[in-house]
Amino acid sequence: MKPSTGRNFLHTPGPTNIPERVLRAMLQPAMDFSDPVFLDMTRSCFVDLKKIFRTESEVVCFASNGHGAWEAALVNTLSAGDHVLVPQYGHFTQNWAEMAESFGIVVDEIPGDWRHAIDPDAIEQKLREDSGHAIKAILTVHTDTATGITSDLPAMRRAIDNAGHPALYMVDTVAALGTAEFRMDDWGIDVAVGGSQKGLMQPPGLAFNAVSAKALAACETATLPRLYWDWQRRLEDAYYRWFCGTPPEHLLFALREGLDMVLEEGLENAFERHQRLAEAVRRAVAVWSRANALSLNALNPDECSNSVTTILVADGYDADALRITAREKFDVSLGSGLGRTRGKAFRIGHMGYLNEPMILGALAGTEASLEAAGIPHEKGGVDAALEFLATS
């Protein structure tokens, strides 16, 4: 292994850079988890998580990754034999749907090409056709981390309302939370799934469900087996229920510090920063793409995500070799293609704790790697990013 001689530039779209402040917050002894100091801190995290999700409803926190919070969303609201509507829009809708199938839930799919956002009209049409209301929930993803595309959540809400359909509206915002506007209550979202290690700058290991009153009511009739993931148990007053056992104390120390940082910056400012850095990345990709070996996966510019950019690599060139060169030679960690794009794409994550020189460093390392890996690209991508950042 190459000895470390400087920072690794972590641009996998999760996990992301953990700020020193957050790391230091974890450097303390474990404590009695019934200590009022600890309970107050934990309560304050729940209060602030509601601000992040923009909700007055409950937020449940799990010592798990995002997959755990997916499972929690399903088992608390659904029964075997229920139908869910899933627009096939990327790797993460697909995987959430596969999880649902494993519980005996019937998945009704809307096909998609992984290069466009979810089509709200297709949702409306499917729901109109379901006059018997067999569909109990719609599973959607805010930003698909494989495709680098963000969907229009309020438009989907309008589609559900236009169809007059009572299905629960469930949204995985794991890769968007903290990087793009998200309004649980205003947008009528019933279950929001979030994770710690993406836009929120946290270590991996915490995941969240924000839960509307309507979703909580669905617990009463949902018959999928659950205990560890049970929202109602976790929302009891007794503190040992909040995490169904020992709380992940150090992850909560980290969360407290990270939430402070997010609120100090201000959510709106964080969204703007993400959008700006994302645009710098896209300016670089646009220049590199002129040599016809690379292209943005997102076909509509206004659907590009603030948090990750997916770049397709033409047949005959090896996207994984590029990633290995970037990691081994330039200490830049890029994301691989996932699912349908495995081996055919690479991804530049740009979410969380990140500023201009960090993104420029990553783009410079990527441009050097394109050269070293022999992938045709027009030079000057970094210059274009620099120019954009200098003048915007």
Ligand X SMILES: *Cc1c(COP(=O)(O)O)cnc(C)c1O
Q: Does 310 bind ligand X (CB under 6 A)?
A: no
CA separation for the pair 171, 143 (Å, rounded): 10
From candidates 175, 284, 326, 386, binder to ligand X by CB under 6 A: 175
The distance of Cα 158 from the centroid of its chain, to the nearest Å, equals: 23
What DSSP string runs through 95-106?
A: HHHHHHHHTTPE
From candidates 71, 124, 172, 249, binder to ligand X by CB under 6 A: 172
Give the per-residue contact string, 190-219, with ligand X (x = CB under 6 A; - = no): -----x------------------------
Which residues, including other chains, have CB under 8 Å from residue 131's CB and lie 6 or more apart? Answer: none
Give CA separation, 161 vs 7, 118, 129, 191, in Å.
49, 16, 14, 16
Q: Which stretch binds ligand X (CB under 6 A): 63-71, 111-119, 155-163, 343-351?
A: 63-71
Q: Does 21 bind ligand X (CB under 6 A)?
A: no
DSSP 337: P
Total residue count of the chain as it appears in this document: 392
Give the per-residue contact string, 81-120, with ligand X (x = CB under 6 A; - = no): -----------x----------------------------
Judged by beta carbon, residue 145 or residue 297, the one nearer ligand X is 145
Q: Does 276 bind ligand X (CB under 6 A)?
A: no
CA separation for the pair 318, 291 (Å, rounded): 16
Give the per-residue contact string, 129-168, with ligand X (x = CB under 6 A; - = no): ------------x---x-----------------------
From candidates 14, 203, 247, 365, binder to ligand X by CB under 6 A: 14
From 207, 210, 230, select the one nearest 219 (Cα to Cα).
230
Least distance in angstroms from the C-beta of 287 to ligand X = 27
Paired strand residues for 138: 85, 169
Q: Does 61 bind ligand X (CB under 6 A)?
A: no
Give the helix ranges, DSSP H, for the chain: 20-25, 36-53, 66-77, 91-102, 120-129, 153-163, 213-218, 231-234, 239-242, 249-265, 267-288, 319-330, 356-372, 381-391
Please give the residue whose beta carbon sits closest to ligand X in the complex.
66
Q: Does 248 bind ligand X (CB under 6 A)?
A: no
Q: Which stretch binds ligand X (CB under 6 A): 61-69, 183-191, 259-267, 354-362?
A: 61-69
Binding site for ligand X (CB under 6 A): 14, 65-67, 92, 141, 145, 172, 174-175, 195
